[in-house]
Amino acid sequence: MAAEIAVADEVLVDGELKFLEALRISLRISPLEARQIVATAQNGQLGAYLDDRYLRLRSLIPVVSEVFALRALARACATDDHRFKGARLLRGAPDLAMTKDELDAELYRAFRRPRPADAQVFSELARVASTLPDPVDRYWLIVYTLVAEPPPTVPTWRVVPFLGVMQAAFQVTDTDMELAVVDALTFPANLPRPQ
């Protein structure tokens, strides 16, 4: 909406550019994606672009489900109860909204996926990371994983073994991990979290 307003008069002035940049930083939008948003707004194609972005977010649900399954596996609690709790958490995240049946099916597939007997969590996470070439997607997967932690432990992410392994596999810097903590703590504290 801000991009549409800024380009409405077909001239981007310095104040508008500064505002858009501040908004981009606050919303953790990559510079490339921000430029795409402004360009599509200038071309009058923002609606189609946003529809595409929404579909892309929905396409991340299987990846989020896989990460949650690996988190449960690493904690030796890949049970139906843990899967149900993960589903309740994900249903509470509006940007990951799917029907209950769709979400349950994705989590079921991820939790039941056959894995090699010698599978290591790091190599499995590295495999998942290889499907996410966009660092912004990797960042948000870290955020959702942090959201699964009890809120008081989120700032101490460095002592959560799974998060350390995930950080390495996803190649996320400490600075971005700290930003992810801030974003994770904006989610409601009363979301049901799989322990």
DSSP string, 19-43: HHHHHHHHTT--HHHHHHHHHHHHT
Question: What is the model's pLDDT at position 112?
Answer: 94
pLDDT in tens, 42-86: 888 888 888 887 777 778 889 999 999 999 999 988 899 999 988
What the block records as the tokens of 41 is 């707004």
Note the pTM of the prediction, 2 decimals.
0.77
Rounded to the nearest 10 degrees, how much is the dihedral formed by the CA atoms of 71, 99, 47, 9? -70
DSSP 8-state secondary structure symbol assigned to residue 157: G
> Is 3 within 8 Å of 41 (Cβ atoms)?
yes
C-alpha to C-alpha distance for 159 and 152, rounded to whole angstroms: 13
pLDDT at 96: 63
- Helices and strands counted in the chain (H then E): 11, 0
- Read off the pLDDT of residues 160-174 as tens digits, 9 standing for 90 and up: 999 999 999 999 999
Q: How many CB atoms lie within 10 A of CB 27?
A: 11
> For residue 121, is pLDDT > 80?
yes
C-alpha 80/C-alpha 55 separation (Å) is 28
Say what the pLDDT of residue 44 is: 85
- 169-181 as b/e, with b when 16 or more CB fall inside 10 Å? bbebeeebbebbb
Position 10 scores a pLDDT of: 81
Amino acid at 75: R
CA distance 54 to 62: 15
Q: In the prediction, which pLDDT does 171 show?
A: 95
Single-letter residue type at 113: R
- For residue 117, give Cα distances in angstroms to 71, 122, 129: 17, 14, 21
Token pair recorded at residue 186: 């904006």
Q: Cα–Cα distance between 77 and 111 in angstroms, integer?
A: 10
Copy the structure tokens of residue 132.
């996410």
